A and B are shown apart, each in its own frame.
Chain A
Amino acid sequence: MEGNSLREQVAAMRQSLFDEEILDKQFVQMEELEDVHNPNFAEELMTLYFRDSSKLLVSVEKALERPPYDANILDKFLHQLKGSSASVGANKVRIETNKMREALKAEDVERTKSQFQLVKRAHKTLKGKMEPYFHLLRQAGPADAAQPPE
């Protein structure tokens, strides 16, 4: 029961993440990759993602500190962020990153910078939601715990 209500909570949280488009179906792919041997794959992956993406954001921040701004290197960072965000299903982050790339391409410094704030915000939001989600998930136990082991 407790497990059930927890699971329900988890399910609700999860659903809202999709509804708010913070996550997209790529996240589901990650979940599907979980199995008996890799029960927390999604969580591990997300952890890895946050670690690397945070570093990337710091690098971008630094690169935007003062002119002249190296557009190439910025784009490289952003491209990487876009790729990894897309791979884990971090939808909002990916979208905002794309917008930032476009601003960069248009050589609109102001817009690039303001867009960067949005990227950071989306990233922060995601992290803020994923952490409690995974925490709760662990508590609730694996979804198919009830099922007989293979």
Chain B
Amino acid sequence: MHLSNGMGSMSTASSSGAWKSGDVVTDQFPAGLRVLVVDDDPTCLMILERMLRTCLYEVTKCNRAEIALSLLRENKNGFDIVISDVHMPDMDGFKLLEHVGLEMDLPVIMMSADDGKSVVMKGVTHGACDYLIKPVRIEALKNIWQHVVRKKKNEWKDVEQSGSVEEGDRQQKPSEDADYSSSANEGTWKNSKRRKDEEEETDERDDSSTLKKPRVVWSVELHQQFVGAVNQLGIDKAVPKKILELMNVPGLTRENVASHLQKYRLYLRRLSGVSQHPNNLSNSFMSPQEASFGAMSSLSGLDLQTLAVTGQLPAQSLATLQAAGLGRSTTKSGVPMPLVDQRNLFSFENPKSRFAEGQHHLSSSKPMNLLHGIPTTMEAKQLANLHQSAQSLGAVNMQVNAHGVQNSSLLMPVAQSQPRGQILNETSGNHVPRLSSSMGHPIMSNGMSSGVSGRNGMVDSGRGGGYNPMQQNSSMLNYPLNNSSQLPCNSFTLGSTPVMSSLTSKGAFPEDVNSDVKISSGFMPSYDMFNELQQHKSNDWDLQNVGLTFDPSQHTNSMHNSLDPSVLVHQGFSSSQRGGQSRSPTTVGKALFSMGEGNHLGNVQNTGQHLNGFVVDNTVRIKAESAPDATSQTSFFHEQYGQDDLMSALLKQQQDGIGPAENEFDFDGYSLDNIPV
């Protein structure tokens, strides 16, 4: 395709420039809006160009995403908005979307003949400001300028706060924006929501005297600096302010960094979701976790809350989660992420309190509940706890979100699941039981493989009832075992006994999960556990991861291992256990969940084999396991190897005397042996 630059567009560069710098709204506005259209279909491209020209926009056509990107890079401020097709041969439209968002921070509208909900959702999660369904009508294009204005408005807002007075015009825009549906098409509904959610921050924070906010162009170098700063701080702890300080770039504002960070997180999340490989997952997953569990916890906490709030939405949440997960690109990969998030959730909760509760629950052999409840009650509680623990909630969340955007979505469902609240509420001690449930959630939300979380959430719904501590399932049986074992684990995982409890719950949880919920339940319990663990401990969110990974689905397999990992993770195994590595790679996939749990639990009680090893290694293991598992598992929940396995593993462990867990975890005097099997 040929590139035509503003042919026939009425506005010249000057006009477009004019509205860029000063008031967005000039007399000509929106005429002269500089649009870049990317579509491999020449017919569509021609139509769009014609339509846009009719709207008096300045149009540049492009039939290859790569060309579009280079165009954008060459002319950093050469365009105001990008419209791109979703399906393109050389590069996925969403990928282009990400790049543009990260590098240039321009509003991007996605287009497709595909109007499936998942695809539209993908657009949302990837940061598209709108989604148009083909055939595109000119009416839909007439209003695209609102996205540009909106973005600028947000930027202006920041400026305004700093005293700029030229917001007047812009401010009016927002209200108008609200009135507009971004487009007549279906995609619009998301737009406004997305905008709000994304809280467009002003990218351009230029404090030039004229208040015009030149858009900050995130050049490769700048972005590198940014990434370096983020890594240095740790993805969990990376807050805009600190990043800004580290970067030390004159003229860059906190808002610029904040909005860029948001995008970056989204981007990472997608990566983890997409790249199922453990590496990615683990990286994204683990690093955040390791960096600051607390951070994660905060995230999870939030998620949990969200979930809790949402109440039983399992189905919906699941869809969301799944979508999110899908958006991420792979449920599996997504999973790892969630784990991380989940961990956070757990960490919030004071392990101690959890533990108490957990223990309480454990005895009730409701391990299942833990898991189940995770989403619902636990989450809320856990969330609360998590919050407490993790101040960097925001940061974490962001990060986690970024990574596992899905997670949060997952969490949502989870929360619903159940009545867990019961368990969860107990935060104090009963967390454990809840953990499992909540765990399930957190993990889910982490975006664990979107699909997974969805499951949990979903499962929870069903399970919720079932989950709850009622472990009625056979898995539950194991669970109690686990619980018992976990208890000890809990303590150690988190470093404090409480963790143990969570662990136990986790352990049990996986098993329970087997029965039915496996997926959801398993998951959840871990969550609870983690929370509790967290609480006990210094919120070694590592465990949290465990919990997160605790995908119920996973636990089945990973039950042995995974239980711990997930549980362990949550448990805050100080060690990066998340890896649940010890868990055994198999479970890894399965259950990120299991990872956390398995690891923890495994060490502690159940899997004895894994757990023990796991526990010992915990720190690292859990992480490792969870991460990789997560990836492979993605579908933690479902994939679980069979909760039965898990359960049996757990049982075994318990019988074996989970002792090993102690190594790492500071059992608060919980000896695995104590675990009532």
Contacts and interface: CB of A to CB of B under 8 A. Distances in A.
Contact of B42 (A35, A41, A48, A86): A48
A141 interface: no
Interface stretch (B45-53, B273-281, B462-470, B549-557): B45-53
A87 B138 contact: no
Interface stretch (A15-23, A76-84, A110-118, A131-139): A76-84
A82 B50 contact: no
Interface in B71-119: 85, 87, 112-114
Contact of B87 (A38, A80, A86): A80
Nearest to A30: B47
B42 A52 contact: yes
A80 B43 CA distance: 10
Contacts of A30: 47
Interface residues of A, number: 24
B43 A52 contact: yes
Contact of B138 (A29, A41, A83): A29
Interface string A37-56: 11001001100110010000
Interface residues of B, number: 21
Contacts of B41: 52, 80, 83-84, 87
- Residues of A contacting B: mostly: helix
Most buried by B among A26, A32, A33, A76: A33
Nearest to A53: B43
Contact of A86 (B46, B51, B85, B113): B113
B83 to A, nearest CB: 13
Contact of A33 (B40, B51, B112): B51
Given A45-B43, A45-B46, A83 B134 contact: yes
Contact of A79 (B42, B46, B114): B114
B87 A79 contact: yes
Contact of B47 (A37, A52, A79, A87): A87
Contact of A84 (B44, B50, B54): B44
Nearest to B114: A79
A87 B42 contact: no
A88 interface: yes
A47 to B, nearest CB: 10
Contacts of A32: 138
A37 B8 CA distance: 9
Contacts of B85: 83
B137 interface: yes
B228 interface: no
Nearest to A56: B41
B251 interface: no
B54 A48 contact: no
A114 to B, nearest CB: 23
B142 to A, nearest CB: 12
B43 A84 contact: yes
B168 interface: no
Contacts of A29: 51, 135, 137-138
A84 B136 CA distance: 11
A144 to B, nearest CB: 16
Interface in B109-168: 112-114, 134-138
Contact of A45 (B47, B112, B136): B47
A40 to B, nearest CB: 12
Nearest to B85: A83
A141 to B, nearest CB: 21
Contacts of A37: 8
A87 B43 contact: yes
A38 B53 CA distance: 11
Interface in B18-67: 40-44, 46-47, 50-51, 54
Nearest to B136: A87
A29 B87 CA distance: 24
Interface string B1-16: 0000000100000000
Given A83-B112, A84-B41, A41 B135 contact: no
A33 B113 contact: no
A88 B113 contact: no
A82 B43 contact: no
Given A48-B42, A52-B43, A33 B134 contact: no
A35 B56 CA distance: 13
Contacts of B113: 79, 82-83, 86
Contacts of A86: 113, 134-135
Contact of B46 (A35, A48, A76): A48
A83 B135 CA distance: 7
Contacts of A49: 43
Given A83-B134, A87-B47, 14 more contacts: A26-B135, A44-B46, A45-B46, A45-B47, A45-B50, A48-B42, A52-B43, A80-B41, A83-B41, A83-B112, A87-B44, A87-B134, A87-B135, A89-B135
21 contacts: A26-B135, A26-B137, A29-B135, A29-B137, A29-B138, A30-B47, A33-B50, A33-B138, A38-B50, A52-B41, A52-B42, A80-B40, A80-B41, A83-B113, A83-B134, A86-B134, A87-B134, A87-B136, A88-B43, A88-B135, A89-B135
Interface of B: 8, 40-44, 46-47, 50-51, 54, 85, 87, 112-114, 134-138
